[in-house]
């Protein structure tokens, strides 16, 4: 008989609906039961694309004997970390404080007052690798709860107090950081850069898109080609490695090695949104069409596989299929030959060409099979006759398409089809920006459809955002990251369409941030002032796999300050950044989006207003390259607008006119693209 999770909308929670464990979703009912029955709470936090979450579920949560022990001595609570980042953040800090590491699945034991007293991550079903079995942990916690209750409760209270104190100190106001912080951060990133394989750190190795974005900004500001080299070497290595899906496009979550070859195979929406933008910007900066191709392939993958008919973007695709990690993505030589038979005039030759290009061998590079990676350039993979006839690239394009079609007939990994506003904001930003940079009308249609969907279906009657949507049900209060990321996406959509409705919607979300998330000490809380009461009100300032809500809020507010001239926006942005100077300088890998916000604020930004009947020639000039610290507004002469950049500015002699201001001084108005090009430099 299904448990309470059957009525939830989260695909991750539903995966546990038929467990013999008497799971509760997070909420008062579970803790009231724990208090009434005098039991500790076992909190399990994970997400649908988490491989080890599936392993622990199969080993322990599907086991009748383990479930009997859990049901008899604990109240079990299951949380989807993607739906409830607040709960995840609070108890992850607790686990990290107790064990000095963290991850998912996260396993935490709480008092009925929600205070954590013991925790860890994955526990196996039998003792191994120095880890106790999950059953042993349950038995030990049961014994402690029954025999040493005062010590257990006291430890939970003390840890909760420490965590709350640490949160209170996060991102408090200080002196506004200077440009020196940007230079210090670059030096730190240069010291830790992997000069052999690109990126930062060893195995496992993560893409770090926010770091790459910051470095692109610094290259543009300084002209330092060594900064650009760190970006391009990393982008090249990732796009040619197994972390990139060479057939279907899009990036896997991370590489399990230091060389970008073997990925953890899940695909996350937030990774692909950020990486599509980085590759787009790298193309704009360098002119290298390889980066443009990767950006488009990534967005095309999302449009093909991650876009709901209503316009929302799905959250993730699993690593596993048919019970095996990566099974959907890997190949054996005989599978490649078989896929090409009947679809190629020379299946053996085309198979050899593809296998040479993508490093396929009989031995394999992953559990006897092959993860495709760009072992050779296409031009260098085929025989001389093929190169001379100029058909290698065409043959490879057809061969890849044939293999992709064959792969699509396999059992596909599961898709987490819930829609999260914050993650959708990241992808809206990518599609909106790519639409104007690449001239892709289809991308613009996707972006507008997403904005219409979120603003109409994922807000309550008062205009407040909901966190998640699935099966026509919007649920849960929106978090800071939802408001900030979606406001950023709407600003990018405005700059692609110049429809004032998108600008007004972005400003409305920013107003909600100021009204409901502001911390009087500086910066922003992750939860609103009318959110449910938790152990403490979380305020996560570090940029992780996604930029933090605070860093993106600072960027959005700074841009709105430029557009509107309203000091309440710019002052809030500066106050948020002011508390982060030391962290930015000392740990740039963890605060890269904050560094980009600081870069925008201290540059200072430039403002361009275009007024007149035909702004497209001037806009084409602006969009041809990456200008991260330029805000652009455009309108026809007879349109009303609340954007202060238009105040006192009309077209001259009926011609489309551009007004450029920088460093608090305005250039003379110009009426031709050539003149604007001279001003922009």
Residue 357 lies in a domain: yes
Whether residue 381 has pLDDT greater than 70? no
Whether residue 622 has pLDDT greater than 70? yes
Together in a domain, 385 and 449: no
Bridge pairing between strands 415-416 and 316-317: antiparallel
Residue 56 belongs to a domain with what CATH number?
A: 3.40.30.10
Q: Quote the longest CA-to-CA distance of the chain.
A: 87
Whether residue 594 has pLDDT greater than 70? yes
SS3 659: strand
Residue by residue, what is the 3-state secondary structure of 224-235? CHHHHHHHHHHH
Together in a domain, 481 and 446: yes
Residue 174 lies in a domain: no
| Average pLDDT value for the chain | 93
Predicted pLDDT at 575: 93
Residue 640 lies in a domain: yes
Cis ω before 437 (30° cut-off from 0): no
Residue 248 belongs to a domain with what CATH number?
A: 1.50.10.10
Mean pLDDT of 346-358: 91
Percent of the chain with pLDDT over 70: 95
Together in a domain, 136 and 268: no
Predicted pLDDT at 389: 42
Distances (CA, A) of 169 to 164, 336, 519, 539: 9, 57, 11, 9
Together in a domain, 445 and 557: yes
Q: Is the dihedral of CA 43, 48, 49, 51 positive or negative?
A: positive
Whether residue 356 has pLDDT greater than 50? yes
Cis ω before 647 (30° cut-off from 0): no
Together in a domain, 96 and 10: yes
Count of residues for the chain? 681
DSSP letters of 19-74? SSS--EESSHHHHHHHHHHT-PEEEEEE-TT-HHHHHHIIIIIT-HHHHHHHHHH-
Q: Are 371 and 360 in contact (CB under 8 A)?
A: no
Together in a domain, 18 and 162: yes
**In whole angstroms, what separates CA 446 from the centre of its chain?**
18
Instruction: Using alpha carbons only, give the angle 207, 205, 538 rounded to the nearest 5 degrees.
Output: 70
Q: Predicted confidence band at 347 (pLDDT cuts at 50, 70, 90)?
A: confident
Whether residue 610 has pLDDT greater than 70? yes
Enumerate long-range contacts of 20-24, CB under 8 Å, 24 or more apart.
20/61, 20/62, 20/63, 20/64, 20/67, 20/68, 20/71, 21/61, 21/66, 21/67, 21/70, 21/71, 21/76, 22/67, 22/70, 22/71, 22/76, 23/76, 23/77, 23/78, 24/75, 24/76, 24/77, 24/78
Predicted pLDDT at 323: 87
Q: Which of 559, 133, 112, 111 is nearest to 120 (CA)?
A: 133
Together in a domain, 189 and 261: yes
Predicted pLDDT at 649: 87
Q: Are 536 and 160 in contact (CB under 8 A)?
A: yes
Predicted pLDDT at 651: 87
Q: Is the dihedral of CA 520, 526, 530, 536 positive or negative?
A: negative
Distances (CA, A) of 140 to 36, 102, 131, 148, 577: 22, 21, 14, 11, 45
31-89 residue pLDDT tens: 999 999 999 999 999 999 888 899 999 999 999 999 999 999 999 999 999 999 999 99
Predicted pLDDT at 597: 97
- The number of domains in the chain is 4
The domain of 375 spans 329-409
Predicted structure pTM score:
0.94
182-221 residue pLDDT tens: 999 999 999 999 999 999 999 999 999 999 999 999 999 9
Last residue of a domain, one of 345, 375, 409: 409
Together in a domain, 303 and 348: no
234-272 residue pLDDT tens: 999 999 999 999 999 999 999 999 999 999 999 999 999
Q: Are 373 and 246 in contact (CB under 8 A)?
A: yes
Report the alpha-carbon distance of residue 107 to residue 122 in Å, rounded.
7
The Cβ of residue 251 has, within 10 Å, a number of other Cβ atoms equal to 25
Q: Predicted confidence band at 650 (pLDDT cuts at 50, 70, 90)?
A: confident
Q: Predicted confidence band at 562 (pLDDT cuts at 50, 70, 90)?
A: very high
Report the alpha-carbon distance of residue 550 to residue 321 in Å, rounded.
36
Q: Are 205 and 199 in contact (CB under 8 A)?
A: yes
Last residue of a domain, one of 168, 194, 216: 168
The Cβ of residue 611 has, within 10 Å, a number of other Cβ atoms equal to 24
Instruction: Using alpha carbons only, give the angle 90, 93, 99 rounded to the nearest 5 degrees.
Output: 140
285-338 residue pLDDT tens: 999 999 999 999 999 999 999 999 999 999 999 999 988 999 999 999 999 999
Together in a domain, 70 and 106: yes
H or E stretch at 644: none
Q: Predicted confidence band at 386 (pLDDT cuts at 50, 70, 90)?
A: very low
Q: Predicted confidence band at 388 (pLDDT cuts at 50, 70, 90)?
A: very low
Q: Is the dihedral of CA 301, 305, 309, 312 positive or negative?
A: negative
Phi, psi (degrees; rounded to nearest 5) at 43: -105, 120
101-133 residue pLDDT tens: 889 999 999 999 999 999 999 999 999 888 899
Residue 627 lies in a domain: yes
Bridge pairing between strands 106-110 and 41-46: antiparallel
Together in a domain, 403 and 496: no
Residue 433 lies in a domain: yes
Last residue of a domain, one of 409, 426, 458: 409
Mean pLDDT of 387-403: 77
Residue 66 lies in a domain: yes
Whether residue 518 has pLDDT greater than 60? yes
570-580 residue pLDDT tens: 999 999 999 89
Together in a domain, 596 and 647: no
Residue 65 lies in a domain: yes
Instruction: Using alpha carbons only, give the angle 334, 337, 341 rounded to the nearest 5 degrees.
Output: 135
Together in a domain, 36 and 124: yes
Residue 173 lies in a domain: no
């Amino acid at each position: 008989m299904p448990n309470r999770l059957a009525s939830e909308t989260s695909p991750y929670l539903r995966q546990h609906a038929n467990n013999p464990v008497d799971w509760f979703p997070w909420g008062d009912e579970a803790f009231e039961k724990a208090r009434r029955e005098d039991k500790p709470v076992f909190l399990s936090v994970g997400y649908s694309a988490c491989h080890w979450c599936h392993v622990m579920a199969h080993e322990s949560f599907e086991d009748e004997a383990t479930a009997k022990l859990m049901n008899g001595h604990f109240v079990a609570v299951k949380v989807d970390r993607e739906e409830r980042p607040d709960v995840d953040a609070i108890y992850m800090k607790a686990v990290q404080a107790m064990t000095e590491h963290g991850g998912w699945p996260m396993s935490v034991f709480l008092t009925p007052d929600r205070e954590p007293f013991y925790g860890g991550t994955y526990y196996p079903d039998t003792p191994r690798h120095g880890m106790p079995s999950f059953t042993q942990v349950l038995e030990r916690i049961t014994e402690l709860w029954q025999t040493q209750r005062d010590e257990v409760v006291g430890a939970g209270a003390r840890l909760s107090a420490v965590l709350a104190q640490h949160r209170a100190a996060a991102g408090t106001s200080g002196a506004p950081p200077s440009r020196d912080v940007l230079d210090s951060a670059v030096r730190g990133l240069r010291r830790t850069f992997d000069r052999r394989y690109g990126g930062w750190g060893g195995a496992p190795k993560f893409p770090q898109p926010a770091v790459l974005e910051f470095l692109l900004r610094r290259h543009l500001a300084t002209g330092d080609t060594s900064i650009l080299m760190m970006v391009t070497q990393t982008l090249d290595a990732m796009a040619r490695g197994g972390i990139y899906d060479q057939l279907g496009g899009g990036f896997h979550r991370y590489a399990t090695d230091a060389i970008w070859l073997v990925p953890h195979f899940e695909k996350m929406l937030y990774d692909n949104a950020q990486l599509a933008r980085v590759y787009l910007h790298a193309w704009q900066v360098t002119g290298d069409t390889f980066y443009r191709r990767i950006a488009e392939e990534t967005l095309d993958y999302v449009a093909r596989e991650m876009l709901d008919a209503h316009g929302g973007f799905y959250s993730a695709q699993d690593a596993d299929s048919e019970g095996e990690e990566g099974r959907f993505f890997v190949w054996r030589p005989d599978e490649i030959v078989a896929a090409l038979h009947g679809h190629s005039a020379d299946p053996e030759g085309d198979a050899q060409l593809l296998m040479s290009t993508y490093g396929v061998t009989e031995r394999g590079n992953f559990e006897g099979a092959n993860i495709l990676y760009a072992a050779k350039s296409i031009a260098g993979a085929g025989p001389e006759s093929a190169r001379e006839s100029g058909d290698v690239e065409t043959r490879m394009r057809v061969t890849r398409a044939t293999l992709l079609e064959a792969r699509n007939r396999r059992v596909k990994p599961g898709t987490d089809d819930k829609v999260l506003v914050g993650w959708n904001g990241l992808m809206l930003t990518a599609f909106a920006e790519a639409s104007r940079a690449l001239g892709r009308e289809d991308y613009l249609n996707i972006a507008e459809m997403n904005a219409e969907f979120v603003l109409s279906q994922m807000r309550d009657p008062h205009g407040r955002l909901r966190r998640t949507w699935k099966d026509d049900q919007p649920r849960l209060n929106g978090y800071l990251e939802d408001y900030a990321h979606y406001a950023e996406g709407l600003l990018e959509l405005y700059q692609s369409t110049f429809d004032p409705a998108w600008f007004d919607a972005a400003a409305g979300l920013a107003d909600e941030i100021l009204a409901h998330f502001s911390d009087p000490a500086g910066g922003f809380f992750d939860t609103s002032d009318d959110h449910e009461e938790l152990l403490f009100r979380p305020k996560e300032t570090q940029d992780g796999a996604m930029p933090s809500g605070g860093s993106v809020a600072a960027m959005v507010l700074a841009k709105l300050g430029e557009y509107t001239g309203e000091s309440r926006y710019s002052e809030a942005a500066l106050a948020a950044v002011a508390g982060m100077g030391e962290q930015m300088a000392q740990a740039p890998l963890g605060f890269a989006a904050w560094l980009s916000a600081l870069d925008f604020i201290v540059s200072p930004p430039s403002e361009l207003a275009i007024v007149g009947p035909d702004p497209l020639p001037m806009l084409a000039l602006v969009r041809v390259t990456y200008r991260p610290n330029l805000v652009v507004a455009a309108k026809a002469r007879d349109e009303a607008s609340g954007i202060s950049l238009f105040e006192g500015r009309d077209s001259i002699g009926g011609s489309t006119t551009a007004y450029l201001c920088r460093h608090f001084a305005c250039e003379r108005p110009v009426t031709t693209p050539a003149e604007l090009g001279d001003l922009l430099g």
